[in-house]
Amino acid sequence: MSATLLVILTLLPLAGAAVLALRPEGQARTVALWTTLLALGAAGVAMVQFRWDHGADMQGVGRLEWAPSLGLSLSVGADSVAMLLIGLTALLGPICVYASFTAIEHRRRTYYGWLLVLQSAMTGVFCARDLVLFYTCFEFTLVPMYILISLYGSTNRKKAATKFFLYTFTGSVLTLAGLLFVVWFNATQLVPTDGPGAGKWTFDIGALQHAAVRMSSGQQAWVLAAMMAGFAVKVPLFPLHTWLPLAHTEAPTAGSVILAGVLLKLGTYGMYRFVLPFVPSAVVEYAPFLAVLCIMGIVYAGLICWVQEDVKKLVAYSSVSHLGFCILGMVALNQIGLAGSVLYMVNHGLSTGALFLLIGMMYERYHTRSMREVGGLAAKMPIWATFMVFFAMASVALPGLNGFVSEFMCLMGAFQADSEFVRAGQVGATRGVLGPVYAAVAGTGIIVAAMYLLMMVGKMCFGPLREPHAHHAHESHAPPVLPPDLSAREIVILLPLAALCLVLGLYPRPVLQTLEAPTTRAVDWVWEHAGVRGAPLAPQGGRP
Amino acid sequence: MNSGSIIPVLNLLAAGAEEGHASAGPVAHGPWWVALIVVLPMLGAMLCGAAAALKVRSKLPAFLTVGLLGASCALAVSMYLELAGGRSITVSYRWIDFAWGTGEGQRLVANFGFYIDSLTCLWMLFVTGLATLIALYASEYMSHDQGVGYCRFFAAFNLFVFSMACLVMGDNLLLLYLGWEGVGLCSYLLIGYFYKRPAAVAAAKKAFIVNRIGDLALALGTMLAFVHFGSVEYAVIFAKAQPYIEAIKSGHLDQVPFVVQVIPLLFMVGAFGKSAQLPLYVWLPDAMEGPTPVSALIHAATMVTAGVYLIARTYPIFLCSEYALPVVAWVGALTALLAATIGMAQFDIKRIMAYSTVSQLGYMFAGLAFLSSAGAAYHVFTHAFFKATLFLCCGAVMHGFAGQLDLRKLSGVAFMKGWGIVGLAMLIGCLNLAGVPFTAGFFSKDMILAESFVTMGPGYQVLGWVLLLTAGLTAYYTFRVFFRVFVGPKTFEPGDELHAHDDHGHDAHGHDSRGDAHAEAEHGPAGHAAPGHGHDFHPHAPGWAINLVLLILAAASIAAALPYFMGEHGGWVPKLVHESSATTISDGHGSTAAFLASGLHEPGASAHGTLFGQDPHKIMYYVSGAIGAVGIAIAFVLHYAGRKTAGTSRADALVPALGPVAGWARRKWLVDELYDALVRTPLWVLSHVFHLIDKLLIDGLVNLFGWLPRAAAQRLRPTQGGDLHGYAAGMAVGLGAVLILVWMLIL
């Protein structure tokens, strides 16, 4: 896979947005759909060309010198983790566009234009190999999302959009400070003999990674705090999550899908790309603290889901709960947890994205999200209800569907990450600072998930049919745009997601195999540079 | 009668000790076609799903299901003939495989592979066989719902058999977990089949959530097993558990690490969830909201025995633990007693059967814990047939009497025209459940009961008496149903629904009564089943499919006694069990397990316990036979002799004498209310508190931080409004950030 392909992947949606701006309003949908399909095709080509058996290596590396004296350049490259997320982004692109065909009736050019810009920015984050490109794209995702929410959201959209923007932006500024500190440290505190790129101004992630681990543990702790300020808000990690339910609830359907599917993953990806490699000794030190936050989020947000009436808010809170598992797997600091965490990023995007799509389809018909007003829809929308049950089961981590593999691996990672176990000679344990207790407490999340998701399915799909009173009046006045049950377009939107949920649930092996190398590299890096806390154990588990 | 068969287990144990541990033998590569046993039901599920999408309105899905499951059953028979006795693994494809090193325990492998030994064969034989028969029954039973609902039913039915096959045949704990949760999903979908009924939806949800509690324990146990053994595959685990078993045999319990002792405790909780034992049994009675074929197959014969299977499958690990089996014994016996007392006081015949299932499962667990895995498995086997028969008879009654299940409103059903076969099958089922001598249920229950007095364990003698008492109660409540509903004066009051599911019907095309008309045409002028209740209602007797299945199952229930006499040492089932991983370890005296080696009793000090100074194996036949007879006699006196109406009997006079106890038993000892008060309500309150905290405290702090700069900014910025003002502000801030960056660089 060449660097050109990655650049094309990044810029193609942007070019589409430019074309769209020049074309009349009526063609906006078509242009957007073809652009995203083209991008999906390009992503397909990239994924075919990508050498998955060398998943740990950066592939498609390319560098465009911009201002060498300042160390400024634009460089791209992707390992298998990035590639998976690029694929997810490209897949959700056309789905979001196609899902908006009937929902967005006014100012289509603006809408689809910003949607395409957003896709460019997100892809850019995953392709970036230097801080400038990464951070620019990372921050720039805020603008299109802000506009999508504030212009096309529901009643409380202004407040939600502002809160989303300011909250995440504030966090990101701190992240920037942390990252810049590393740049400064590399340029001024190190000398060229310390390593490649040391002693000069550079924004290259690979070079900075070598520099960052030379920071003292005190410095690392501060950098960890700064980076987590941005990434944890983005994820979102308890207790920094309150922007999310509001933003999700108010956002248009496609906005919610992208938010849950990809934007949240920018935080987890940021942790994978920066937090683990840059500040290993701080991560090892604070992993239990982060894990406790994850577990609190899993249980706390899960229980809040259980008492929601607004179905969209329920799914939004469920993201907080779910991503707790994802981060828990990551801070387990072993391969199984990390691979589970990466897989969780993809799986959560598929299943929660699909749940938001389904809720959007329901909303287009009934114009309410309250489970008090609408419910029992299996009687009227059997196809919709079938998909709802399916994706709820994927979300509840039913084995055989995608969620299970990643959730089990995250919990398993936390469970076995116990250095005491290793000392006691338990062959299946790995180095780590968590342990069975963390996994057991976090595991209660799978019971809570069943509670709230089945409550949702029970109310939305089953029981006697309940429709809002205004609904019939609405139907009689306006000619029905949508059939009572799902249209062919809507089924086409959902089918690829459902198929992927099944495939990743029943045959996750190819993905797991390509994750073996990068996770091993990342975990070994962490423990090699973790300092004293990692030292007492003999190195365990060489590279396969 | 073979007198040697009276002491079945001991001899086998001795034989097993000579041959060494059966599960320690070599593992062969199995043939590819065993995968078809799993694949065919999956294919059926997909075809039924396709039929639903194509809106097929015939009985095609049912006969497709019967055909595919029948083929699966034939393959299971062939698997038994070829592979029973040995151990083989067939890997169909690699499911989860993740390595982080090359050393031991650095690779998580969970293949879609199938571990075939005699235990697998035993379970698959009755699972596929019963599934085929019950699918045939359901083809008629569900015929009022032909259309999408019919397809949906059979799709879930097939999916269930697929999941159950994965659970039983899986060669690793993760595939077992897949089947474990898969049967839970199908149970959820099928309990909630009448999805417009809130009670059915609530019951389905309850079943899934309560099961999830057990599932979590099972998942944690799997993780711990991996951490200790470095694998989740049975073959590896058994091989690595072998030294611990050897150590226990020689009395060195201290050589078994603590971790290994914890694993079975976690598995046990999972088993209690799936098999409806204390404290997680509450979902099973509610699960009776599902269609009766589902209750028969899933909630009586197969799925609920998954917990027994789990313990039997991982028996080597259970034997390593000092505490696991005694806990299982106490939980099983107490569940058996508790459920029986509740069952005595219920009026809904299907619920009575549900409580009796819980109770009988308690016997099976107790059997496992009394080191009689053979007895437990045999009881699973016989129970599968006679309980399926009982449920299907109840279903036929429900089908024919417009959903009537109240034993106070039906009487003399067996003597009505066209109901003879149902009555006969019911009688056979009841005789088995009550443990009347020379029935299959009698032999299998006695194997467990006798062992409770033989095996040395904490309080096992007491548990033996508890189980004997329960056997009497069982005989009473079983025949209470029979004497009230099936014999006596012929009267009835129809239920309030034409088919118990009349309010259902998700396809708006109206009620389709072709199936009923068909059934009536065959059985004479039974009257027209008008949707109205009352005077013009005539029960319609079951058609050929239901009668045929009942006959086969009744015959199978009787025939299930035959394996007891096949071969030496307690028959065919014990032989299968002892060829598998579920065999007990023995020093020749029959009761050496971890909890005995722990010093409670000196191994070998006493060969085994006694009952009335006799060998329990010899005397138990008479004791339990007498107790069962007493139970039936009491039921006869209270519910049959001199009864003139359906609604009243002599038992009514006894109720006031019992005081509030009868009412408590009827209200299931208020366990549901207790759980509500202790678990659900506190959680609900806590959730609302969390929601408030989230809104007011956490978000409030955020808003406070947000408000401070905005308050300042609002003074600085005179213009408000305009769609994009926030965006502009954002861009400005963003630009500022870039400027800061550049500024920092230049410095």
Q: Confirm if A182 and A149 have CB atoms less than 8 A apart.
A: no
Residue for token pair 């019967």: B66
Residue A79 has pLDDT above 50, yes or no: yes
pLDDT score of B631: 92
The answer to whether the CB atoms of B730 and A520 lie below 8 A apart is no
Any CB–CB contact under 8 A between B154 and chain A? no
pLDDT band (50, 70, 90) for residue B479: very high
Q: Which of A208-217, B176-185, B258-267, B564-573 has the weakest average pLDDT?
A: B564-573
E strands, B84-223, are: 88-99, 107-116
- Where is pLDDT greater, at B729 or B573? B573
Look at residue B202 and tell me whether its pLDDT is greater than 60. Answer: yes
Range scoring the smallest mean pLDDT among A62-66, A173-177, A480-484, B506-510:
B506-510
Question: Has residue B311 been placed in a domain?
Answer: yes
Cα A38–Cα A44–Cα A46 angle in degrees, nearest 5:
105
**Number of H-type helices and E-type strands within chain A:** 23, 2
Rounded to a whole number of angstroms, the distance from the CA of B738 to the nearest CA of chain A is: 9
Most confident range (mean pLDDT) of A315-329, B628-642, B730-744 is: A315-329
Could you read off the pLDDT of B230-280 as tens digits, one per residue?
999 999 998 888 888 888 877 777 788 888 889 999 999 999 999 999 889
- Number of structural domains found in chain B: 2
The alpha carbon of residue B690 is apart from the nearest alpha carbon of chain A, in Å, by 6
- Indicate the pairing of strand B410-411 with strand B107-116: unpaired
Tell whether A382 is within 8 A of chain B (Cβ).
Answer: yes
Q: How far apart are CA A243 and CA A264, in angstroms?
A: 12
- Point out the residue among A70, A150, A447 whose CB comes nearest to the CB of B213: A447
Query: Do B691 and A307 make contact, defined as CB atoms within 8 angstroms?
Result: yes
When mean pLDDT is compared across B212-221, B431-440, B518-527, the lowest value belongs to B518-527
The pair of structure tokens assigned to B194 is 């009448």
Q: Which of A307-311, A476-480, B14-18, B488-492 has the highest mean pLDDT?
A: A307-311
pLDDT tens for A354-389 read: 999 999 999 988 888 899 989 899 988 999 999 999
Q: Does the structure show a pLDDT above 90 at B362?
A: yes
> Which among A447, A459, A465 is the top mutation candidate for probing chain B, defined by the most B β-carbons within 10 Å of its own β-carbon?
A447
B127 pLDDT above the threshold of 70: yes
Residue B666 pLDDT > 70: yes
Look at residue A467 and tell me whether its pLDDT is greater than 50.
yes
pLDDT tens, position by position, B305-339: 999 999 999 998 988 888 888 999 999 999 999 99
- Residues B528 and B535: their CA atoms lie apart, in Å, by 12
Give me the mean pLDDT over the A403-419 stretch: 93
> Taking 60 as the threshold, does the pLDDT of residue B606 lie above it?
no
- pLDDT reported for residue B322: 81
Q: What confidence score (pLDDT) does residue B592 get?
A: 42
Task: Tell me if chain A has a CB within 8 Å of the CB of B633.
Answer: no
The sign of the CA dihedral B661, B662, B663, B667 is positive
How many residues are there in chain B? 747
The pLDDT value given to residue B736: 62
pLDDT, one tens digit per residue, over B593-605 is: 444 544 444 444 4
Percentage of residues in chain B having pLDDT higher than 70: 82
Q: Judge whether B289 is closer than 8 Å to chain A, CB to CB.
A: no
B198 close to A (CB below 8 A): yes
Average pLDDT in the B72-81 region?
A: 93
Amino acid B86: pLDDT = 82
pLDDT in the model for residue B209: 92
Q: Which residues of A touch B257 (CB under 8 A)?
A: 424
Q: How far apart (Å, rounded) are the C-alpha atoms in residues B497 and B490? A: 21
* A175 Cβ under 8 Å from any chain B Cβ: no
What pLDDT does residue A109 have? 87
**Whole-number mean pLDDT of chain A?**
89
Please indicate, yes or no, if residue B225 is contained in any of the structural domains. Answer: yes
Please report the ipTM that was assigned to this predicted complex: 0.93
**Dist. CA B479–CA B467, nearest whole Å:** 18
Scanning every residue of chain B, which has its alpha carbon at the shortest distance from the alpha carbon of A183? B745
- Reduced to 3 states, what is the DSSP secondary structure of residue B632? helix
Residues A16-22 have a mean pLDDT of 90
User: For residue B741, what pLDDT is reported?
Assistant: 61
Contact A544 B688 (CB under 8 A): no
Out of A184-193, A214-223, B107-116, B713-722, pick the least confident.
Answer: B713-722
**What are the pLDDT digits (tens) for A444-454?**
999 999 999 99
Query: Once rounded to an integer, what is the mean pLDDT over residues A422-429?
Result: 86
Residue B747 included in any domain: no
Side by side, which strands form the sheet with B88-99? B28-29, B88-99, B107-116
Candidate from A512-516, A533-537, B682-686 with smallest mean pLDDT = A533-537
CA distances from B276 to B303, B333, B353, B365, B383 (A): 10, 13, 14, 11, 15
The pLDDT tens digits for A118-136 are: 999 999 999 999 898 999 9
pLDDT at B76 over 60: yes
A307: number of Cβ within 10 Å: 19
Residue B75 lies in a domain: yes
Interface residue A177 vs chain B (CB under 8 A): no
pTM comes to 0.89
Residue A324 in this model has a pLDDT that exceeds 80? yes
Measure the CA–CA gap between A219 and B660, rounded to whole angstroms: 71
**Rg of chain A, C-alpha, whole Å:** 23
Give one word for A60, left, alpha or beta, with left for phi > 0 and alpha for psi -120 to 50: left
How many contacts (CB atoms, under 8 Å) link A and B? Answer: 214
Among A328-332, A369-373, A469-473, B41-45, the least confident range: A469-473
- Residue A477 predicted with pLDDT over 60: no
Residue B23, pLDDT above cutoff 70 = no
Q: A62 to chain B nearest CA, in Å?
A: 23
Nearest CB to B96: which of A146, A512, A544? A512
**Residue A226: pLDDT over 50:** yes
In a domain, B721, yes or no: no
Task: Report the distance separating Cα B183 and Cα B203, nearest Å.
Answer: 15
Q: Give B174's pLDDT tier (boundaries 50, 70, 90).
A: very high
Does a structural domain hold residue B111? Answer: yes
Question: Looking at the partner chain, which of B103, B177, B185 has a beta carbon nearest the beta carbon of A541?
Answer: B103
Backbone angles phi, psi at A399, to 5 degrees: -60, 145
A352: confidence class by pLDDT, cuts 50, 70, 90? very high
Q: Which DSSP symbol is given to B110?
A: E
Which of B101, B195, B228 lies at the smallest CB-CB distance from A541? B101
pLDDT of residue B701: 84
Decide if B219 touches A, using CB distance below 8 A.
yes
Residue of B nearest to A453 (CA): B205
Q: Mean pLDDT, to the nearest integer, of A432-458?
A: 93
User: What pLDDT does residue B715 have?
Assistant: 66
The rounded distance, in Å, linking the Cα atoms of A399 and B158 is 17
pLDDT reading at B439 higher than 80: yes
Q: Is residue B528 part of a domain?
A: no
Interchain CB contact of B147 with A (< 8 Å): no
Q: Which residue out of B48, B164, B206, B227 would a mutagenesis test of the A interface target, given it has the greatest number of A Cβ atoms within 10 Å?
A: B227
Q: Is the four-CA dihedral A45, A49, A55, A61 of positive or negative sign?
A: negative
Tokens linked to B396: 């036929």
Instruction: For residues A309-315, give the mean pLDDT.
Output: 93
Mean per-residue pLDDT for B359-365? Answer: 94
Q: Is B6 on the interface with A (CB under 8 A)?
A: no
Q: Please enumerate, as own/partner, the contacts of B458-467 that have beta carbons within 8 Å and a separation of 24 or more.
A: B458/B326, B458/B595, B458/B600, B459/B326, B459/B330, B460/B329, B460/B370, B460/B609, B461/B609, B463/B329, B463/B330, B463/B333, B463/B366, B464/B611, B464/B616, B466/B333, B466/B334, B466/B336, B466/B337, B467/B333, B467/B336, B467/B337, B467/B363, B467/B366
Judge whether residue B178 has pLDDT over 90. Answer: yes
DSSP string, A125-139: HHHB-BHHHHHHHHH
Residue range(s) defining the domain that contains residue B701: 674-711
- Compare CB distances from A163 to B93, B698, B706 and report the shortest one's residue: B706
Find which of A382-391, B76-85, B736-745 is predicted with most confidence, using mean pLDDT: A382-391
Q: Which of B684, B730, B744 sits opposite A142 (nearest CB)?
A: B730
Q: Closest CB to A307: pick one of B101, B209, B688.
A: B688
A377 contact B CB<8A: no
pLDDT tens digit string along A84-114? 999 999 999 999 999 998 888 888 888 999 9
Chain B 156-195, residues with CB within 8 Å of chain A CB atoms: 174, 177-178, 180-182, 185, 188-189, 192, 195
How many percent of chain A have pLDDT more than 70?
A: 96
pLDDT at B733: 62
Token pair 């019950």 in the structure block, residue = B134
- The more confident residue out of B566 and B62 is B62
First to last CA, chain A: 24
A336 to each of A237, A539, B101, B162, B204, how far by Cα in Å?
Answer: 21, 17, 11, 29, 34
Dig out the tokens for B543 from the structure.
Answer: 């058609």
Range 180-209 of A in CB contact (< 8 A) with B:
180, 184, 201
Structural domain includes residue B537: no
Q: For residue B608, what pLDDT band results from cuts at 50, 70 and 90?
A: low
Beta-carbon separation of B101 and A544 below 8 A:
yes
Rg over alpha carbons for chain B, rounded to the nearest Å, is 29
pLDDT digits (tens, 9 = 90+) for B624-657: 889 999 999 999 888 888 788 877 877 777 888 8
List all residues of chain B from 649 to 688 with a beta carbon under 8 Å from chain A: 683-684, 686-688
Positive or negative, the CA dihedral A228, A232, A233, A234 is: positive
| pLDDT, mean over chain B | 81
Q: What is the pLDDT of residues B278-306, one digit of tens each?
A: 889 999 999 998 899 999 998 888 999 99
In this structure, the answer to whether residues B549 and B681 fall within a common structural domain is: no
Residue A66 pLDDT exceeds 80: no
> Is A437 at the interface with chain B, CB within 8 A?
no
B654/B659 Cα distance (integer angstroms)? 9
Cα A25 to chain centroid, rounded:
31
Q: Where does the pLDDT of residue B706 fall: very low under 50, low under 70, confident under 90, or very high at 90 and above?
A: confident
Partners of B213 on chain A (C-beta within 8 Å) are: 447
Closest by Cβ to B212, choosing from A439, A446, A463: A446
List pLDDT tens digits, range A263-306. 999 999 999 999 999 999 999 999 999 999 999 999 999 999 99
Q: How far apart are CA B554 and CA B429, in angstroms?
A: 7
User: Do the Cβ atoms of A375 and A463 come closer than 8 Å?
Assistant: yes
Residues 20-49 of A with CB under 8 A from B: none
Contact indicator for A314, A452 with CB cutoff of 8 Å: yes
Decide the pairing of beta strands B88-99 and A59-67.
unpaired
